Amino acid sequence: MVEIKIRGYDYKINLARDSFNRRAIQYTNQIMAQFRSIGLTNDDVEVSEERMAMKKAPANVSWWIHDERCHFSFNKMARFVDNLLVVSKVIEHNIDELIAEEITIEDFIKIFREHDGFDEKRVKAREFFDLEEDHINLEEINKKYKSLAKTLHPDMPTGDHEKFKELNEHHKTLKRELE
């Protein structure tokens, strides 16, 4: 069992030891059931999938509620299946607070709201780094970032202040998505 702290709350996570793909399906179903408990449908919610649940990959969930797009992702565990479990626990905790009326629907949305155009930002960030649209390897992104930062930094002869700011913004966008 691993204890992790996210947004001020402690979560105890039992890491998967076997049947990784089956467990990923179970966690996805749990997430969908949690959202159904507050009136969302399967069409309102999108949970990331990974064919090899034992591989290192971020787990993401996006949903629409009251005309707002919300999103949560996690990528600090060694396997996708464990990242998905963390996502499930965080969503469950916040939905339980919402149902118990400890938070309002506006508070719930504020916790997870994704600002307008964020999907577009992700696409532009990947284009900036010359990556495929579905690229998720943060280590590779960090390497490209460091390489470009050396070239674009304003203190370097080839530096460009505006491009350097753009580089940092794109890197921050991808880190937010993939961490």
* Helix spans in 8-117 (H): 20-36, 80-99, 105-112
* pLDDT for the residue numbered 118: 67
Integer Cα distance of 1 and 130 in angstroms: 39
For 93, the token pair is 């905790």
Q: How far is CA 138 from CA 30, 99, 135, in A?
A: 27, 35, 9
The structural architecture, per CATH, of the domain 118-178 is: Orthogonal Bundle (1.10)
User: Smallest Cα–Cα separation from 123: which of 133, 113, 110?
Assistant: 133
- pLDDT tens digits along 62-93: 999 998 889 998 888 999 999 999 999 999 99
Place of tokens 């919610």: 45
SS3 21: helix
pTM to 2 decimals?
0.69
168 falls in which pLDDT band (50, 70, 90)?
Answer: confident
Each residue of 102-140: pLDDT tens digit? 999 999 999 998 766 666 777 888 888 898 887 878 888
> What is the domain partition of the chain in residue ranges?
2-112, 118-178
